[in-house]
Homo-oligomer: A and B are copies of this chain.
């Protein structure tokens, strides 16, 4: 099985020179760790990207290309895809446009969280993702499973302390995560979803899977999204499970010829 993961970033994002290679290598290892030998995950990089993904408008400009890449991956024979980050950028549009199953890391993590506890909270890395993810919770219909007061919160990480954590130098990153997680727990959370594409490898390295002495599990979104995509592909093969193509379904595939014509018109494809 081949899954495509367009990460929504370009390797040469401004001011973060080393990020691309680090991300690429670390994430490859992590996806192999999570998915095992039977599933191949290709990480897709954008040629150019916006430097501010928290903006709805700038994110949309980006998503147009991310989804275009998913359509190309579909044509190249991939079996399924997940969309970039924990805020599920372009998820509903991608799921509509493609015929292969598309999972959202955030959506998958929330669905799993709803089977592991009573109420979840999601931590994120930038303030701008807060309203995006809060709206996702509502779109997915899961308000009753998230804490009511500020279910999405930014925690005080920096890119630098994250890298130190990833390299095993110190755990300030985890300390910052725990601090905000404990505030969520005081407000009723019994499951915490960790929003950040690179977090998985750091958590595995430090064996960080629960908030100490609380019993509250920490859910990493990428692993959830990939496993969810695998499940959808597997059920498609065995029992023909597919997205709804009802005319009122949000994921009804547009006619392929129209889709391709428009992509051509707008310089995509």
CB-CB under 8 A from A60, the residues of chain B are: 60, 63-64, 67, 90, 93
CB-CB under 8 A from A97, the residues of chain B are: 55-57
Q: Which bucket holds chain A's interface residue count? A: 35 or more
Q: Is the CB of A52 within 8 A of B141?
A: no
Within A135-154, the residues touching B (CB, 8 Å) are 135, 138-145, 147-150
CB-CB under 8 A from A104, the residues of chain B are: 115
CB-CB under 8 A from A207, the residues of chain B are: 240
Q: Is the CB of A115 within 8 A of B103?
A: yes
Within A22-40, the residues touching B (CB, 8 Å) are 33-34
Minimum CB–CB distance for A90 against chain B, Å? 8
Q: Is the CB of B58 within 8 A of A67?
A: no
| Partner of A117 from B52, B251, B268 at Cβ < 8 Å | B251
CB-CB under 8 A from A191, the residues of chain B are: 244, 249
CB-CB under 8 A from A112, the residues of chain B are: 111, 231-232, 235, 241
Q: Is the CB of A231 within 8 A of B235?
A: no
CB-CB under 8 A from A187, the residues of chain B are: 149-150
CB-CB under 8 A from A239, the residues of chain B are: 34, 200, 203-204, 209, 220, 223
Q: Is the CB of B188 within 8 A of A150?
A: yes
Q: Is the CB of B243 within 8 A of A116?
A: yes
How far, in angstroms, from A41 to B81 measured CA to CA in the complex? 28
Q: A96-B55, A107-B115 are in contact. Are A50 and B262 (CB under 8 A)?
A: yes
Q: Is the CB of A127 within 8 A of B265?
A: no
Is the CB of A132 closer than 8 A to any CB of chain B?
yes
Within A73-113, the residues touching B (CB, 8 Å) are 90, 92-97, 103-104, 107-108, 111-112
Q: Mark A222-254, 1 if CB is under 8 A from B, else 0.
A: 011001101110110011111111111111101
CB-CB under 8 A from A228, the residues of chain B are: 115, 231
How far, in angstroms, from A138 to B145 measured CA to CA in the complex? 10
Q: Which residue of B lies closest to A216 (CB)?
A: B246
CB-CB under 8 A from A230, the residues of chain B are: 231
Is the CB of A7 closer than 8 A to any CB of chain B?
no
Q: Is the CB of B140 within 8 A of A250?
A: no
Interchain Cβ contacts under 8 Å between A and B, 23 examples: A48-B265, A50-B258, A55-B97, A56-B92, A56-B97, A56-B250, A57-B254, A60-B67, A60-B93, A104-B115, A112-B235, A112-B241, A114-B141, A117-B250, A148-B148, A190-B246, A200-B239, A215-B246, A215-B252, A217-B245, A219-B241, A223-B239, A227-B234
